[in-house]
Structure 1
Amino acid sequence: MTVSLLLVVVCAIAAAGYLLGRSRARAASGGDTRKLHSLIGYHGQSVLLFSAVPALILMGAWLILQPMLIEGRVAGQITAADIPEGGSPALVMSDVRRIAEGLDLLGLDAGEMAALGADPAQAGARLAQAGIALGSEIRPNVLAAALDYRRIADGAGLAMTVAVIAAALAGLALSLRRITADYRARNVSERFVLVLFIASSLVAVLTTFGIVASLVVESVHFFRLYPARDFFFSLTWNPQFRGGSDLGIWPLLWGTMYVSLVALLLAVPVGLMSAIYLSEYASGRMRAMVKPAIEILAGIPTIVYGLFALVTVGPFLRDWFAQPMGLGSGSSSVMTAGLVMGIMLIPFVSSLSDDIINAVPQSLRDGSFGLGATRSETVRQVILPAALPGIVGAILLAASRAIGETMIVVMGAGAAAKLDLNPFEAMTTITVKIVSQLTGDTEFASPETLVAFALGMCLFVFTLGLNVIALYVVRKYREQYE
């Protein structure tokens, strides 16, 4: 039984439990539901929760642990001779999983599986016809491990189906037996809702810890294979998957900062001035038309911005600025990506700043006007200082968005990793290289692939530093203002 079908079965048992719980509660009250401690709906919810939640937890834990346990059992069949030259055990185990999945897609019976197990060449041909790409030629031990993987996985899947359905039915039976007129079903339901709220609030925290942990672990693996001194101090980025790579971060970091700076130089003034106009000068009718038009920019996919940079902005800057001034002859440049990215960031700065400025109390404006200040003086000396913490947050959000952008940089700035001050030269960013290093049929355990995690860790630390600096500035200003 597939996981999706098993999930449907559990949900059906839980729904049946809800109806049975209501009926059982009504019967326990003798037809007068006023005798119940809780409403019959709470009784139905309690049965539903005891039927579904333990079964779903069991299924989730099983799906997480099953692949690790199976791989631990079949990994012993892989010998050193089965690992290709320059490969790794992880790459061979990846082939084992792919072969097992391919055999499952082929829908072979036990006899056909045994026949394929005796002929690795035929197995490779059948898998190639099914579109299964492997990292190396199938060896007998690898094929035998894949067959065992498939056999154990089938048995484990059947055991999971039985265990999950049994858990759902056991929860249904036990919860129905607990229903009496004095049963506090409402407390059970509300306690579960409380736990759900707590778990939801922890999702963001746990996700952050998971992301950081994965980056740290893989970065440690990278620095075991590649010197940290060369990574942090080299001025050259030249990955060579056959050896002799130079993986210095500075050209990528410079490109990231350069493109982001150009984007912010356009987005921050334009976005902030539009927010001031919409909140302080525009009429209600004008605001109702202009604000949605600006916010439409935030809904345009980044690939569309990339096409706009590639087809329109890049050739325009090349023909009218770069070539006449002798600064470059290509349409891919820092200026192209920065300007288009700045247009994309305008709604982030404008909309957030507009909401923050509107949140400034009207009493501050009235007091300023009462002292004889003009509207522009009120904006400069009262409203902007009061809204500064929120505006800094809006600018920080735009900066984080610019640093993490990929598609516009790929299509607008190119992929050249170099240190240059010319804004009409092609450069690249950290995010672009993270994508390029993790795509393709490359060995995951190589430094050229693991460097993506080190780049991601540096990017995370960089953005975290921006947040700390912004928080320090905001707190310092608030102390002066208050």
Structure 2
Amino acid sequence: MSTGLLTLLVAALAILGMVMGRSRAVATAGGDIRKLHSLPFFYGRFTALLTAVPAFLLIIVWLLAQPLIVENKAAALLSPADIPDGSSKALVMTDVRRIAEGLDRLTESRTDIPALKADPAALKAAMNAAGVALQTDPAPSVIEAAEALREAQGRSRLYLSIAAGIVALGGFAWGVSRIKPEFRARNATEIFTMWLLIGCSLIAVLTTVGIVASMLFETGHFFRLYPAKDFFFSTTWSPKFGGGSSLGIIPLVWGTLYVSFIALLVAVPVGLMSAIYLAEYASKRTRAWVKPAIEILAGIPTIVYGLFALITVGPLLRDWIAQPAGLGDSSSSVMTAGLVMGIMVIPFVSSLSDDIINAVPQSLRDGSLGLGATPSETVRQVVMPAALPGIVGAVLLAASRAIGETMIVVMGAGAAAKLSLNPFEAMTTVTVKIVSQLTGDTEFASPETLVAFALGLTLFTLTLALNILALYIVRKYREQYE
């Protein structure tokens, strides 16, 4: 049974539990709901929660643990002779998974699987025709491992269906059996819901811990293969798969900070001025359409911004400024990416600053105007100093957004890792190199691949520090003026 169908069946059983629980509660009270401790709805909700939540938790845990167990058993069937020179077991397991997927598709089309398994070339052709790309004829042991993986996945789905069905039915039966007029269904439901919410909160926390732990683990592996001193202090970035790489992070950090600096030079003045206009000068009618129009920029996909940088902004800067001034002849440059990224970040600065300015107490404005100050003097000398901590927090949050951008930099700034002050030269950032180092079939055993985790951890630390600083400033501001 597929996971989707199993999910629908559990959900249907939970709905049935809702109806049965409610009707049984009314029946045990003899039709007089005043004899019940709680409203009938709570009895049905209690039964539905007992039916659905444990079953869904089992499905989630099972699906997370299944690949580790099933694929390890399939990988055990591979011998060292099955791993070509320059490859790894992980790459071979990729082919095993592809073949297992292809065998499933061929089985659905009623293809003669035993005959194909006896002829690797015919199997490869059939796989490619079924939409599963194979580059070489699979070895017999790889085919055997794929067949074992497919069978193990089928058994796992069967066992999951049985186990989830038993858990759901058990929860359904237990919930119905607990329904009595004196049962405190509302209290039990609220406690159950509270623990469910706590679990959801822990998922977010544990996800963050897992991300950090995985980056720390792989970064530690990288530094065992490559000197940390060369990584942090070298000014050369030249990865070469196979050895002889120079993996200095300084050019990447410089490009990241340079692009982000230009983006903030564009976004902060424009966003701040628009926020002041919307909060202090615009009428309600004007604000009603200007503010959504500005925030539309936040909903545009970054790939669209990248195309805009590549096709429009880059050639425009090259033809009008860079070439006439002798500063460069490439449409890919730091200035191109910075300008477009600044446009993208404007809604972050504008929206947050607008909310912060509106949060300044009206009494401060009234006092200033009552003393004879003009509206512009009130904004400049009263409102802005009061809102300054919050505005700084908004700018830092926008900076962390700009630092983590990838697509605009790929299409607007190029991929050259260099140290230069010329904003019309092509440069690159940390995020771009993370993508480039992990593109294609990669083996997580070489410094050239593992360096992506060290870059990611560095970027994570930088953006985390900015976010913590921004949150600290915003909270301090809120405590002062709320």
Q: TM-score, normalised by structure 1?
A: 0.93
One-letter amino acid of the counterpart of residue 205, structure 1: V
Contact 2:397–2:470, Cα closer than 8 Å, also in 1: no
Paired with 1:480 and 1:181, the residues of 2 have a C-alpha distance of 51
Q: Deviations over 1:264-290 (max 9, x none)?
A: 011111211221222223333433343
SS in 1 for 2:133: coil
Contact 1:84–1:136, Cα closer than 8 Å, also in 2: no
SS in 1 for 2:280: helix
The RMSD of aligned alpha carbons is 2.5
SS in 2 for 1:416: coil
Q: Does residue 226 of the first structure (1) align with residue 226 of the second (2)?
A: yes
Alignment of 1:173-192 (within 5 A): 173-192=173-192
Paired with 2:195 and 2:436, the residues of 1 have a C-alpha distance of 41
Q: Does residue 42 of the first structure (1) align with residue 42 of the second (2)?
A: yes
Give the aligned partner of residue 322 of structure 1. 322
Give the aligned partner of residue 11 of structure 1. 11
One-letter amino acid of the counterpart of residue 171, structure 2: G
Q: Deviations over 1:361-403 (max 9, x none)?
A: 0111222233343333322332112111210111011101111
TM-superposed CA distance for 1:335, in Å, is 0.7
Q: Deviations over 1:419-476 (max 9, x none)?
A: 1111001111111121222222333433322222211111011112323555677789
Give the aligned partner of residue 194 of structure 2. 194
Residues 59-68 or 275-284, more deviating: 275-284
One-letter amino acid of the counterpart of residue 328, structure 1: G
Give the aligned partner of residue 126 of structure 1. 126
SS in 1 for 2:8: helix
Cα distance, 1:182–1:279 mapped onto 2, change above 3 Å = same
Residues 241-250 or 268-277, more deviating: 241-250
Paired with 1:423 and 1:478, the residues of 2 have a C-alpha distance of 38
Paired with 2:479 and 2:173, the residues of 1 have a C-alpha distance of 61
Query: Any unmatched runs of 5+ in structure 1?
Result: none
Paired with 1:317 and 1:233, the residues of 2 have a C-alpha distance of 33
One-letter amino acid of the counterpart of residue 449, structure 1: T
Paired with 2:404 and 2:163, the residues of 1 have a C-alpha distance of 44
Residues 105-114 or 70-79, more deviating: 105-114
Give the aligned partner of residue 405 of structure 1. 405
Q: Kindly tell me the number of residue pairs found equivalent between the two proteins.
A: 482
Contact 1:309–1:337, Cα closer than 8 Å, also in 2: yes
Q: Deviations over 1:180-236 (max 9, x none)?
A: 121221122111221233233334322321221221122222223333222222212
Give the aligned partner of residue 274 of structure 1. 274
Contact 2:120–2:139, Cα closer than 8 Å, also in 1: yes
Paired with 1:183 and 1:288, the residues of 2 have a C-alpha distance of 52
Query: Any unmatched runs of 5+ in structure 2?
Result: none
SS in 2 for 1:141: helix
Residues 345-354 or 195-204, more deviating: 195-204
Paired with 2:111 and 2:201, the residues of 1 have a C-alpha distance of 52
Contact 2:107–2:113, Cα closer than 8 Å, also in 1: no
Paired with 2:309 and 2:216, the residues of 1 have a C-alpha distance of 35
One-letter amino acid of the counterpart of residue 17, structure 1: G
Paired with 1:196 and 1:43, the residues of 2 have a C-alpha distance of 17
Give the aligned partner of residue 146 of structure 2. 146
Cα distance, 1:473–1:183 mapped onto 2, change above 3 Å = closer
SS in 1 for 2:324: coil
Paired with 2:18 and 2:476, the residues of 1 have a C-alpha distance of 56
Cα distance, 1:125–1:285 mapped onto 2, change above 3 Å = closer
Paired with 1:97 and 1:475, the residues of 2 have a C-alpha distance of 49
Give the aligned partner of residue 163 of structure 1. 163
Cα distance, 1:181–1:476 mapped onto 2, change above 3 Å = closer
One-letter amino acid of the counterpart of residue 334, structure 2: V
One-letter amino acid of the counterpart of residue 70, structure 1: V
Paired with 1:385 and 1:363, the residues of 2 have a C-alpha distance of 15
TM-superposed CA distance for 1:133, in Å, is 3.1
Paired with 1:69 and 1:324, the residues of 2 have a C-alpha distance of 63
TM-superposed CA distance for 1:340, in Å, is 1.2
Paired with 1:473 and 1:184, the residues of 2 have a C-alpha distance of 45
TM-superposed CA distance for 1:155, in Å, is 1.4
Cα distance, 1:208–1:141 mapped onto 2, change above 3 Å = same
Contact 1:298–1:347, Cα closer than 8 Å, also in 2: yes
TM-superposed CA distance for 1:122, in Å, is 3.3
TM-superposed CA distance for 1:117, in Å, is 4.1
Residues 130-139 or 53-62, more deviating: 130-139
* Identity between Structure 1 and Structure 2 (%): 67
Paired with 1:239 and 1:328, the residues of 2 have a C-alpha distance of 26
Paired with 2:433 and 2:119, the residues of 1 have a C-alpha distance of 41
Give the aligned partner of residue 103 of structure 2. 103
Paired with 2:20 and 2:470, the residues of 1 have a C-alpha distance of 56
Contact 2:97–2:146, Cα closer than 8 Å, also in 1: yes
Give the aligned partner of residue 258 of structure 2. 258
Contact 2:443–2:449, Cα closer than 8 Å, also in 1: yes
Contact 1:113–1:147, Cα closer than 8 Å, also in 2: no
TM-superposed CA distance for 1:321, in Å, is 0.8
